[in-house]
Amino acid sequence: DTGVSQDPRHKITKRGQNVTFRCDPISEHNRLYWYRQTLGQGPEFLTYFQNEAQLEKSRLLSDRFSAERPKGSFSTLEIQRTEQGDSAMYLCASSLAYGLGRETQYFGPGTRLLVL
Amino acid sequence: SQQGEEDPQALSIQEGENATMNCSYKTSINNLQWYRQNSGRGLVHLILIRSNEREKHSGRLRVTLDTSKKSSSLLITASRAADTASYFCATDLPGDAGGTSYGKLTFGQGTILTVHP
């Protein structure tokens, strides 16, 4: 257990439905990252926050995806109008602010999404 | 696109043997990290090596980094059945200020290691 939790762990939904995932980072970490991992591949960066500010979004993050981190604590990732291609493991990670000795990212267990 | 490329894609060894995995990348980095992932679970951080370091050890793990060749290797000595997992390298690009990084990791496709008891 890294101290990063994600909820739910599994989600099955029908195409066209909206889903929301939650990530609770390690409490003193001010950086939070979202990655997506499909079967047989490494994780791909989606977006990250420093405190409540969303600093960068990947081109992978279409308009149907939105992420928030209110008050710089937990974060949510919402996918609207899900498509079968959204089926993947969604991973959250957190770290201290960037800088020497602070680069290690601690990953949560992931939320596995299946879109039928 | 994936910056890191791991080699081999799969490795099968007997318990007690050493396992070596290689990673190549394309651009300048601030640091390179290795992670382990057990089937269907989250990633566990193993070791981080900075661009100005050449070798690092942690228990049974030894990581080398050759920035001139843009490559890294992970050696697991005296492997155990519990080491069976996927291993990923991830690169972290240099940030705007000296010594910092962006923190946006770029992962390779991973090496699947199977250690037979």
Distances (CA, A) of B30 to A3, A10, A36, A116, B79: 25, 34, 23, 40, 29
Q: Do B106 and A45 touch (CB under 8 A)?
A: yes
Within 8 A of A114 by CB-CB distance, chain B residues are none
* pLDDT at residue number A68: 95
* pLDDT at residue number B104: 83
CA-CA distance, B33 to A95, in Å (whole number)? 14
Residue in A91, A98, A107 nearest the CB of B103: A98
Residue in B4, B95, B109 nearest the CB of A98: B95
* pLDDT at residue number A56: 83
Q: Which two tokens stand for residue B11?
A: 């490795």
CA-CA distance, A108 to A111, in Å (whole number)? 9
pLDDT at position A14 over 50: yes
Summarised one tens digit per residue, pLDDT across range B30-39 is 889 999 999 8
Output Rg (C-alpha) for chain B, integer angstroms: 14
CA-CA distance, A92 to A36, in Å (whole number)? 9
Summarised one tens digit per residue, pLDDT across range A43-64 is 999 999 989 988 888 887 889 9
Summarised one tens digit per residue, pLDDT across range A100-112 is 666 789 999 999 9
Summarised one tens digit per residue, pLDDT across range B4-51 is 688 899 999 999 999 999 999 998 888 899 999 998 788 999 999 999
- Min Cα separation A80/chain B (Å): 24
A61 touches chain B (CB under 8 A): no
Phi-psi label, residue A101: left if phi above 0, alpha if psi -120 to 50, beta otherwise: left
- Min Cα separation A44/chain B (Å): 7
Q: Are A4 and A63 in contact (CB under 8 A)?
A: no
Local confidence band at B1 (pLDDT 50, 70, 90 cut-offs):
very low
* pLDDT at residue number B96: 59
Task: Identify the three-state secondary structure at position B40.
Answer: coil
Longest dimension (CA), chain A: 44
Average pLDDT, integer, range B59-63: 97
Residue A92: which of A83, A105, A102 has the closest Cα? A105
